[in-house]
Amino acid sequence: MNKRLPFGLAMIMLVAPCLLLVAFTHYPALRALLNSFWNNASSRRPSKFVGVENYQTLLEDDRLVQVMLNSTFYALGTIPLAIGLAIGMALLVNAKLPGTSLMRLSFFMPTMLPMIAVANIWLFFYAPGIGLASQILGLFGLPPINFLGSTETSLISMMFVAVWKEAGLFMIFYLAALQAVPENLKDAARLEGAGPVRIFFNIVLPLLRPTTIFVAVNALINAFRLVDHVIVMTRGGPNNSSALLLYYIYEVTFSQRDFAYGATLTVLMVCLLGVLAAVQYWVLNRKAHYQ
C-alpha cells in the first residue's frame, strides 16, 4: 500500500508550489526590502543607494503616525465588535425560533456582497441630507450628520461598514461551533439548576474559545487587508482621518508613485504582521489544545 513516490515526481510536485510561493511571496518581500534602501528613481532623478534614509523619513512622517493610530483604533474597534455581534447572531439563529433560515440568510448576506458594492451602498446611506441615515435622524427631528466629511466620524463610519460586512461570516463559524456543543453538558448543568446565562458563560463560551481564536486571527488579518471601502468612500480623508496602513501604502506607491517609500512602508507592515502572527500562534498553541 505504502508505495514510495518516485523521487523525480516528488520533486516536481514540490517545485510547483514552492515556485509560486517564491515568486509571489518571498521574492516580492525581499525585493521590497531591497527597494527600501534605494531612492525613487526616474528619468530626471538617477537611481542611487540611500541606505536608511527612507527609514528616517518613516520615523519623521506625521501622516504615518496618524495612519498607525487609525489602524490601531480600527483593529481594536472592529475585532471585538464583530466577534460579539457574530456570537449574538449565531445564538439567535441557533435558537429554535420561527424564520431561522431567513434570519441566517439576511445575516450572511453582507458577507456575500463584494466590498466595493458594500461601500457604494453605504456611501448612499451616509450621504448627509439625502442618505438613509440622515432621513432616519430627520424622523426624530435631529440634524443630519456629515459622517464621511468630518474628522470625528469618518473612521468610525468605516469601522461600522467593516463590522456589518464581516460579522455574518464569523457568525457561520460560531454557528458550526455552537452546533458541536454537546447537549448532555447543557442538560447536566440544567439539572444542577444553572440558568441560561450561566450555561452560556460557563459551558458554551469556553467551548467556543478555539473558534474565537481562529476568528480573531482572521479578523486581525482583515483589519489590515481590507481597505476597498476606504478607497471607495473617503480616500483616507478628510485630512487623513480614515486612512489605514494598507491604504496609505497603496496611495504612496501607486498614486504618488514613490516606490521606494512604498517599499519601506511595506517592510514595516510585513514586520508588524509577522509579530502579530507570532503572538497569535503562541496564544493559539497555549490555549486551543484542550479539546
Look up cell 439567535; give the residue.
Answer: 92
Give the closest residue to 174 by CA, choosing from 217, 205, 199, 220: 205
Is 27 among the residues that bind another protein (CB under 8 A)?
no
Is 248 among the residues that bind another protein (CB under 8 A)?
no
Using CB under 8 A, which of the segments 8-16, 121-129, 158-166, 278-286 binds another protein?
121-129
The number of C-alpha atoms within 13 Å of 237 and in the hemisphere containing its C-beta is: 7
Give the closest residue to 209 by CA, choosing from 199, 221, 201, 219: 201
Using CB under 8 A, which of the segments 12-20, 109-117, 136-144, 271-279 binds another protein?
136-144
Is 240 among the residues that bind another protein (CB under 8 A)?
yes
What is the three-class DSSP state of 128? coil
Is 237 among the residues that bind another protein (CB under 8 A)?
yes
Q: How far is the CB of 255 from another protein (least distance, A)?
A: 5
Look up cell 528619468; give the residue.
Answer: 43
d(CA 68, CA 96): 44
Is 42 among the residues that bind another protein (CB under 8 A)?
yes
Is 210 among the residues that bind another protein (CB under 8 A)?
no
Is 18 among the residues that bind another protein (CB under 8 A)?
no
Is 144 among the residues that bind another protein (CB under 8 A)?
yes
Q: What is the CA radius of gyration of the chain?
A: 24
Task: Select from 187, 255, 271, 277 the one that contacts another protein (CB under 8 A).
Answer: 255
Task: Select from 84, 114, 129, 274 the one that contacts another protein (CB under 8 A).
Answer: 129
Q: What is the CA angle 250-253-256, rounded to 5?
A: 105
Is 141 among the residues that bind another protein (CB under 8 A)?
yes
Look up cell 461600522; give the residue.
Answer: 160
Q: Which residues bind another protein (CB under 8 A)?
A: 42-45, 63, 123, 127-130, 138, 141-144, 146, 148-151, 235, 237-241, 251, 254-258
